[in-house]
Amino acid sequence: MNGKLYEESERILKYRVLMKLPDISDVEFTPMAWKEWLLYGPKSDFKSQIDIFKYIEKENDEGKFRDFSVIANYVRNERIRRLLNGYALLDVLDCSQSVQYLRIKMWRLFEDLVGEILRAALRNKNICAVANVDRWPGFQGLDFIITNSESRLGWKVGVQCKRYVGTHIAYNQVSEYSSFSRGTSAASLYHKGEELKRRFPHRKRVLIAFNAYTQTKNQRKRLRNLSESWNLVMILDENKSDEHYYKYKLRCNGLDKILRWC
């Protein structure tokens, strides 16, 4: 009897820690993520998105995602919603250490996500195109520009991608941290926005990040201050806390502004 009760309690516990995954029809991976999965994924027999999703379901059934609860997606655009769900699943796998992305880092997969989101949003604007300028001379500090064939300026919107914005570093402590932490800190990104404002005074500057934890008053203030040096700050995952079960809150607020600027 005690054995049966133990098994039942284990079954209930396992049920409680399982993450609620989005439906497979509501998931899409970016081209770079597809290449990573198919060529360098954890299994050699991945041939389709169904194979990948079955692997994710298996990891979930084994309780690997016990710190995550659900992916809540509030985006109406069907393709952008699917892309965000796909990236959130990659984030779950990375954070739970179920998959190690050794060839393509997560920040590059995030850049690819942002590029696909921008292209999806601009699909009906024939005069606009998204160009990756990450390695182009003269565009340091920007990952994408949105060109306009009818504009005298050539391009109107520049985009910087960050997987996350670190809000815990105070402005007077930035120099004490590593180069990676400095580069993602709200303090450094504020100064980066000011620099871009001086270099490109007639362009719109957009900062897009996947998340930014703001659990304290000072952290929220540091995040708000970014709007002084950037025309738009988009946070795609608006969950502000990672306590207990993590719930993704996916939004894409601000795309309408980018479309107007373009």
Give the model's pLDDT for residue 122.
93
Give the model's pLDDT for residue 103.
75
Is position 3 within any domain? no
CB 85 within 8 A of CB 73: yes
How distant is the alpha carbon of residue 19 from its chain centre?
Answer: 19
Taking residues 6-23, report their average pLDDT.
Answer: 64
Is position 2 within any domain? no
Give the model's pLDDT for residue 9.
45
Most confident of 145-154, 170-179, 235-244: 145-154
Is position 246 within any domain? yes
User: Where do the H-state alpha helices sit in 96-185?
Assistant: 106-121, 179-184
Most confident of 34-48, 103-117, 177-191: 103-117
CB 11 within 8 A of CB 61: no
Alpha carbons 59 and 86: distance in angstroms, whole number: 16
**Average model confidence (pLDDT) for the chain?**
84
Give the model's pLDDT for residue 82.
97
Higher pLDDT, 51 or 4: 51
Alpha carbons 119 and 179: distance in angstroms, whole number: 31
Give the model's pLDDT for residue 197.
95
**Predicted confidence (pLDDT) at residue 11 exceeds the cutoff of 60:** no
Number of domains in the chain: 1
Is position 168 within any domain? yes
Task: Name the least confident of 5-14, 39-48, 79-88, 114-123.
Answer: 5-14
Task: Name the least confident of 78-87, 152-161, 173-182, 245-254.
Answer: 173-182
Higher pLDDT, 65 or 176: 65
* DSSP secondary structure code for residue 68 in this structure: E
Give the model's pLDDT for residue 114.
97
Give the model's pLDDT for residue 34.
85
78-87 core/surface letters (b: 16 or more CB in 10 A; e: else) = eebbbbbbbb
**Predicted confidence (pLDDT) at residue 228 exceeds the cutoff of 90:** yes
Domain that holds residue 159: 14-261
Is position 8 within any domain? no
Is position 9 within any domain? no
Is position 58 within any domain? yes
Give the model's pLDDT for residue 8.
47
Q: Which two tokens stand for residue 197?
A: 């404002």
Q: Which pTM does this prediction carry?
A: 0.88
pLDDT bin (cut points 50, 70, 90) of residue 233 is very high
Determine what percent of the chain falls in helix, strand and coil, rounding each to the nearest 5.
45, 20, 35
Q: Which residue carries 């997987």 as its tokens?
A: 163
Alpha carbons 129 and 119: distance in angstroms, whole number: 7
Indicate if the alpha-carbon torsion angle 24, 129, 185, 176 is positive or negative. positive
